[in-house]
Structure 1
């Protein structure tokens, strides 16, 4: 019997237990009282995680705990040392994806971080992960980022382009959060993003994106003489870590 149906049957037939234990081997390690009402185990078992019954929904794949103090985003800080289960678009906005790798040494002493290679105007970064969770659940999230350099590229309309990293949900055109360095003081150090929020749609499935860009051309001629060139290589790098989301 599916877990959602089992829980519904118990809740209709008996007094609701305070919480359930999910075991690694036995999915229903529940003690039964003489009157037939399910109650908590005595805690002697090992390898179990406790969840309140209100935290479950049937996602169509497996019952999903949404209230537990765990991150529904898998490998959110690349702590496995691998990129998976994240994916990336190889070409976005007619620009090639920036080179990247998972490097040792993350924010606040974590094991690993996501690290790009040289990031400039002709490179893009579109990473994503598909999530499955209970419909209607709202999550509060934050992540940590670090740009290597600051660039402010003036535009004809008076605006200035700067390096940025943004979070999008599904195909939304507006970013949920869009942190960026405001000066050189915001480079070469980990900065935590503002908290941002997103809600799981009725389908129980959604996609979260990291999108980043650095506005400078890779090379610039700094010579002030008309017949001489002094080409300077302009580099940048982005590091990401510690994407954490908690259900509200």
Structure 2
């Protein structure tokens, strides 16, 4: 297994392997996303307190989960690149940042849309909302560092340090509803005693969560492949890829 992972870390092997996986991820994402939205928007019952307005949850909650998950992946990849100087790790970290920022932004926007009918306001400096906003700014900081420093290896080291420092915000987001008095709804899925959400609502929620992960994997691989071609443009295997594409 370890030898296989080392081989996969080779830019050429990753490029070839990811090219085969991307169509599978794309189609799986599309199928699960359609199924999740259908069950969430049509099949799932109306909430007895929130009515139909709660249905934005099927986008908001998976987006929030993904914003944290991608940040952890980005930080780990950045740390690996910082320690072992592996080019692929640096590329994965850099490619993850815009995707993670998009999910964080989506979580903030949908949360605001959900909060207006529930709380009577678009925004409140709630512990979870504020820490999620900080997460979005951390993503923007990583993206800015990657774009501001001309040398990609130096940019990767600087952004990795920021990403690793920002990891402390992840448990703050998760436990904020327990640590502080908050209007935000508490945890209903990831509980030691089991989910407290109705099964008809839980199924589409999980379908959307898996769909978003597949979307992330597909977009990450497409972005990483493009960056690999740019960084390795003078290598023989890239020249071979270009010749094959032209023929």
TM-score by length of 2: 0.23
Q: Which has the larger radius of gyration?
A: 1
Between structures 1 and 2, the one with greater helix share:
2
Between structures 1 and 2, the one with greater strand share:
1
